[in-house]
């Protein structure tokens, strides 16, 4: 059986490392590749695949594109407004989202304190899934910290639509609400000295970046730290199980990811 991760760019992805480690640990003769698929090309790419293809992981810019072309989409994918997992079924491709449960699991691995409120640096698709995860973890108030309030509106609406009916606000990037959890979805280059100093004492910091690591924010943090690798591994686990119908060997997958990041220096 064949699987792959699709996106553009895609060469940096650690997903092949994690999934292949899982296959090896379970003795599965499966393959997992990277395939560069540009925005607008997902439907065409799916049409080229034969029955040997079992599952696909999606990264940017394909997560929202998949919502429009896959008829069978899970409830949690509809909640997030994005598909990151495609599984072949007897009637075609089914779409799911493992970013949401993966983010919840990643936070709870590292932090067991209460999460009543959260702030998110950035307002893209990752901010939507991690914001929803914060709500699942108990946050009744979420603040999106973004440079452009208008561009943050779609993400604000996605989080606000959660059945728990959280209060979701948009504020400038330099706002400093008091929260239990800070999520950073911004690149390292945007993590300025002022930003780092302002958030160093956050009770819990979840930085979705995994390369380079550590980031300026996580290097200065005094509270619990959740990494992008934590997220990647914990979202890969349910994805692996959807593809193979077997329990995922989480620790083997994590060890492979840590080794690959170490090799990158």
**What is the DSSP secondary-structure string of 37-68?**
--TT-HHHHHHT--TTEEEEEE-TTSHHHHHH
> Residue 131 sits in a domain of what CATH number?
3.40.50.720
Contacts of 32 (CB under 8 A, 6+ apart): 2, 3, 4, 5, 15, 16, 19, 20, 23
Residues acting as catalytic residues: 63
Cβ contacts of 171 within 8 Å, gap of 6 or more: 143, 144, 145, 146, 177
pTM, whole model, 2 decimals?
0.93
Residue 265 has pLDDT above 80, yes or no: no
Strand partners, 225: 205
Question: Same domain for 106 and 92?
Answer: no
Q: Are residues 120 and 214 in the same domain?
A: yes
Rounded Cα gap, residues 76 and 160, in angstroms: 14
Do residues 181 and 203 make contact, with C-beta atoms less than 8 angstroms apart?
A: yes
Q: Which structure tokens are listed for 79?
A: 């909640």
DSSP strand pairing (204-207 vs 224-226): parallel
Same domain assignment for residues 252 and 213: no
Reported as half-sphere exposure (CB side, CA atoms, 13 A), residue 18 has a value of 27
Q: How many CB atoms lie within 10 A of CB 147?
A: 13
Same domain, 253 and 222: no
Is 186 in contact with 206 (CB distance < 8 Å)? no
CB count in 10 Å sphere of residue 204? 22
Looking at the 3D structure of the chain, how many domains does it have? Answer: 2
6 and 80 co-located in one domain: yes
Enclosing domain of residue 93? 2-97+232-264
In this structure, are 15 and 54 located in the same domain? yes
Cis amide linkage into residue 87, ω under 30° from 0: no
Residue 71's pLDDT band (cuts 50, 70, 90): confident
Same-domain pairing of 204 and 111: yes
Give the list of residues 6+ apart from residue 20 with CB closer than 8 angstroms, or none. 32, 256
Q: Are 125 and 154 members of one domain? A: yes
Query: Position of tokens 């929803």?
Result: 132
Name the token pair of 112. Answer: 């067991």
Q: Which residue shows structure tokens 């890969």?
A: 236
Domain containing residue 89: CATH number: 3.40.50.10860
Query: Average pLDDT of 148-155?
Result: 91
Describe the strand order of the beta sheet including 2-7 as a list of residue ranges. 31-36, 2-7, 53-58, 85-89, 92-96, 72-73
Residues 68 and 120 occupy one common structural domain: no
Residues 106, 196 within the same domain: yes
Confidence of residue 179 (pLDDT cuts 50, 70, 90): very high
pLDDT in tens, 109-130: 999 999 999 999 999 888 999 9
Q: Which residues contact 116 (CB under 8 A, 6 or more apart)?
A: 138, 139, 140, 141, 180
**Residues 188-229 pLDDT 10s:** 999 999 999 999 999 999 999 988 899 999 999 999 999 999
214 and 152 both lie in a single domain: yes
The vertex-64 CA angle with 209 and 43, nearest 5°, equals 120
- pLDDT tens readout for residues 125-142: 889 999 999 999 999 999
Q: Are both 46 and 106 inside the same structural domain?
A: no
Q: How many CA atoms lie within 13 A of 191 on its CB side?
A: 23
Mean pLDDT along residues 48-56 = 96
């Amino acid at each position: 059986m064949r699987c792959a991760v699709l996106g553009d760019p895609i060469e940096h992805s650690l997903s092949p490392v994690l999934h292949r480690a899982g296959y090896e640990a379970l003795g599965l003769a499966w393959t997992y590749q990277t395939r560069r698929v540009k925005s607008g090309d997902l439907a065409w790419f799916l049409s080229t695949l034969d029955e040997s293809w079992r599952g696909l992981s999606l990264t940017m810019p394909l997560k929202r594109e998949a919502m429009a072309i896959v008829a069978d989409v899970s409830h949690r994918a509809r909640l997030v407004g994005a598909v990151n997992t495609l599984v072949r079924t007897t009637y075609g491709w089914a779409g799911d989202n493992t970013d949401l449960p993966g983010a919840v699991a990643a936070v709870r691995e590292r932090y067991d304190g209460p999460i009543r409120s959260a702030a998110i640096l950035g307002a893209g698709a990752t901010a939507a899934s991690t914001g929803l995860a914060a709500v699942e973890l108990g946050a009744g108030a979420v603040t999106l910290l973004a440079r452009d309030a208008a561009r943050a509106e779609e993400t604000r609406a996605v989080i606000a639509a959660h059945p728990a009916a959280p209060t979701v606000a948009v504020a400038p990037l330099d706002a400093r609400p008091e929260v239990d959890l800070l999520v950073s979805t911004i690149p390292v280059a945007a993590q300025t000295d002022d930003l780092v100093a302002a958030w160093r004492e956050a009770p819990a910091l979840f930085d979705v970046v995994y390369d380079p690591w550590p980031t300026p924010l996580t290097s200065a943090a005094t509270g619990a730290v959740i990494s992008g690798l934590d997220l990647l591994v914990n979202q890969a686990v349910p994805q692996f199980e959807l593809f193979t119908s077997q329990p995922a060997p989480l620790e083997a997958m994590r060890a492979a990811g840590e080794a690959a990041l170490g090799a990158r220096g």
